[in-house]
Structure 1
Amino acid sequence: MTTDQPAPRRPRVAIVFGGRSSEHAVSCATAAGVMGAIDREAYDVIPVGISRDGHWVLADADPELLSLTPERSPEVAGHGAGVVVPLATTDRTLTALEPQQVPRSLGEVDVVFPLLHGPFGEDGTIQGMLELADIRYVGSGVFASAAGMDKHFMKVLFAGAGLPVGPYAVITDAQWTRDRAAALDAVSALSFPVFVKPARAGSSMGISKVSTPQALEAAVELAREHDPKVIVEQGIVGREIECAVLQGRGTDGPRVSLVGEIEVTAAGGHEFYDFEAKYLDDGAVLSCPAKVPDAVAAEVQRLAGAAFDALGCEGLARVDCFYTDDGRVLINEINTMPGFTPHSMYPQMWEATGLSYRDLIDELIQLALTRPVGLR
């Protein structure tokens, strides 16, 4: 006699987005892209938004409501049903809380896709929370996420691994508060122009290109609006070439895409690849594969894989390099949760390499499902 067995349920994926950082709207746009492309026949999806003040809420799954346009900046409202994440290793059930209602189970979550950019999400904080609960998640772990978020320590680790980086200086909050003149003088060893950046932010938030020492102080103040720690990087004469990295399967090393190049168009009126050029207009064009010599492309791919390993990354990362006018290749930075809309550099480079956006999402979820939690 045979008995009918219930069909195995589909893996349940919690897509977490929004957050407390200045990249809140970009995270919402990223979530819109993923929710619009994820295979709903293969996965059950629970959209979880984090408002700007840190409330976790059950969000609407309609991607249109989260799209980023010149006319609209999407935002997670903090007044929906609250979401409680378990912190015990014996429970992976999300719970929805609504005023004057009995708590409602959202079911067990098999994997979290944390589409958070910037501090309080991309920097190891949510990764640590998920590790405490033994919940699998897409992307790098606590240390790699934290190191990849901090452009200062990222460069220290790269240099320690023997990878080439450009000249830079760091201005901490304590240095700026104690002796502003000395902090500015520390930048004098660099050649202008320089790029002044928040040390722990992304999406080109708070970045300024500075051509004279007189403009440096205002640029540091602008960067400090996003992060009290500021990094000043010497401008590199050359081209920025990028490479997308995926964690290898099993014991395989990291996989790398074709290399790409963003060209900022004159029509857009942007001096560099800023926030508007990335997300709001047609001020930039991706070329993939980038028009560079084969040996240069191979070196960018080698450095991308080496950078991924140097930080102990998992899942995904985008590595940005400089190809200088004198033929050198330097690492600029790594992004452990790069822009992930369908039009972002990372998915487009994989698309050009032969992996579609939907298949890329599936690959990242499958990698997370097979990766153990805890020490590894």
Structure 2
Amino acid sequence: MPRLRFLGFIIVAAAFFLLLLSLNERPISVYPKHPQVYTNVIQEEYVTDNYSYTSTIKDVIKQQRAYIEQETSDYPFPYNLKLNNFTLSTGGRPLRNIIITTWRSGSTFLGDIINAIPGNFYHYEPLLNYGIVQIRGPPYGDLAVKNLKNLLTCNYTDLNNYLDYGQSHVYLFTHNTRLWDMCELHPTYCWDPIFLSEFCKLFPFQSMKVVRLRLELAEKLLQDKSLNVRILLLVRDPRGTLQSRKHRNWCPGVPDCDQPNILCEDMVSDYEAAIRLKSEYPLRFRVIRYEDLSVDPYKHVQDLFHFFQLHFHPFVKAFLDSHTKLNSGGVSSTFRHSKSVPFHWRTDLNFSEVQYIEENCDQAMKLWGYVKAYNESHLREFNPLTLYSIE
């Protein structure tokens, strides 16, 4: 009997210990927050028994301005200019850089690389509220471009649909880590257009990744000289794109997402637009394939940052060091062994699936330098890349 009692005590103690462990577990976020970096300049909201304090919008903006000044104090701005030359709040003009691509083409990875630089404000997939569609013209084209211009000029007062959507789909803002840190400290202001407009105007750099707008329409952003945007077209092998989309529950059954002929018609259209844009905007437009970026990320990121007029900051190198060596997280994670991820489709798709995509994508693959597979054994080992030109 004493032994049974002792055994029962051991079981109860072990159960209690496991319960404590489960209560103390914390999920590991892909976008960790670092509120400690704000402690010298941010006054959090608090309430005590005898005194209540709530930061006003003016307080938060003042605190954030001080933090950006601290964060960029050693940043080498272009042309030996100062922070104030690049912030809308002081009459300057931000450096604005846009990634144009489509779903599951590596833009989350590249977008997060750019967002690693200090002083960056990240407009993550700003057309999310349009749903799983590709915008090529009417009926959405003009309004979509107008919305992008509003965001790039920090004008949130005419973006009710965008903000309403974001309140029930917070990942619209969570990728914008500097804004989301503020949303967690001051949630009452997070979806306030006045606050968002003033907050956005503090940042010297703006980046944006757009996966629903085709390149021909994006040209309207290049035409607006006041924006002075730079646009990068990010292209991926359609076999890799479609393989990746198979694992997303929002894609199957949606023609703009799961049909190879539609995807590749867009790739051909983007190629034709790219030829024209490279000729007309040689300093503000360029192209990169996701596969090339992934095989040699350090080289290509430094080259892209030169194009974007951004400094290859130590924070950027640290991001690459931590995100390109090992696979970790789910299908949306950016922690990947970058040299192997772009070619995972060779083992995930069978040869019949690959053939079907290739039959629908013959022209697009030739234009962008993607090689076809001969047979099942060739599929598992071949190099799917060759040279391409947009001259």
TM range (shorter): under 0.3
> Which structure has the larger Rg?
2
Q: Which structure: greater strand fraction?
A: 1
User: Per residue, is there more helix in 1 or in 2?
Assistant: 2
Structure 1-normalised TM-score? Answer: 0.26
Q: Which has the higher contact order (CA 8 A, sep 6+)?
A: 2
